[in-house]
Amino acid sequence: MALVHPPGLTRFRTHDLPGARRLTGWEQHNARALVGLRVTADRPFEGTEVNLTLPKLQVARVTGSPHAVDRDVRQIAEHPADGVVVYFSLAGRSTFEHRGGSDLVVPGQALVLDADRPFRREFSDGLTELVLKAPRRGPVTPQLFGFRDNPHAFALVNALTGALRGPADWDGLESTAAALLDTLLGTRTPAADLAAAHAFIEAHLHEPELCAHRIAAAIGYSDRHLSRLFAKSGQSVPQAILNARLDAARSKLAEPIPLAEVAARTGFVSQAHFSRTYRARFGVTPRQDRAALKFLPVSAT
């Protein structure tokens, strides 16, 4: 059954269904929320899916025990997708069979395919993956690539993961995700490059040596081109790095660690610099902000 999980998201668990109906329930849910598939399993199946449906995109985080899925001609006719699907493998090896051959997919790889072309996927170890379904804008051939070292794919994973944690700027997510997906399919845009640059900053902000040159190299820009890209967004590259560090530091104040460690974990070379820039940004010192957290009411759960 599908449960509200929180506003805007739904959560589906086969555990909530009788054992005999779990595969059928899983098939029916995926046909509604993502892509119609035929599911087979040699042992009792367990699956969980958190879904976000936007006007143009469908997003999910999927976990499941060992099983196989087929999207054949019948499934395509009964549940046409008219879209592209990207599977980001987080855990569990799988095989992907299609008209062009067979591929092994391992954690850290992304699989892009046309959802209206027949394919089979087998998860002998189970799976955990992020899934994005988007409108098809042109011909798509199956692609398999690593996403952890690809700044645009990494940015897309970060954006999808953040959205599935709870309420977010879903309009902004849809625009950003579409731009990043276009880049992965061969159409590069400034919006996607800016998102990739911000994702690189988030991933490396704990490193004091993070700088514009490293960010530019990561996304394939010159330093000057990167500066122009950020200037159009209303801030400089150093400002973007500093703001990201300060936001990350503020989110860590509730953790039971010394302020010096908060500063070090977010890339500040000294606690004094951390405190000075924190106060300039938020109007209070980190110590004052941490003290205020102790008096905030705790929401009922």
- The pLDDT tens digits of the residues spanning 266-284 come to 999 999 999 999 999 999 9
Q: What is the pLDDT of residue 109?
A: 97
Query: Between residues 163 and 263, which one has the greater pLDDT?
Result: 263
| Mean pLDDT within 105-120 | 96
Note the maximum CA span of the chain. Answer: 65
| Residue 265 C-alpha from the chain's centroid | 23
Nearest residue to 178 via CA among 168, 191, 169: 191
67: CB partners within 8 A, 6+ apart: 39, 40, 41, 45, 47, 122, 123, 126
pLDDT at 120 over 50: yes
Structural tokens at position 233:
């967004």
272: CB partners within 8 A, 6+ apart: none
Q: What is the pLDDT of residue 231?
A: 95
Per-residue b or e along 58-94, where b marks 16 or more CB atoms closer than 10 Å to that residue's CB = bbbbbbbbbbbbbbeeebbeebebebbbbbbbbebbb
pLDDT at 3 over 80: no
| Mean pLDDT within 90-118 | 95
Query: Between residues 301 and 52, which one has the greater pLDDT?
Result: 52
pLDDT at 163 over 90: no
Q: What is the pLDDT of residue 6?
A: 40
Which tens digits make up the pLDDT trace of 209-220? 999 999 999 999
Q: What is the pLDDT of residue 299?
A: 39
pTM: 0.82
Q: What domains sit in the chain, N to C, each tagged with a CATH number?
A: 2-146 (2.60.120.10)
Q: What is the pLDDT of residue 168?
A: 66
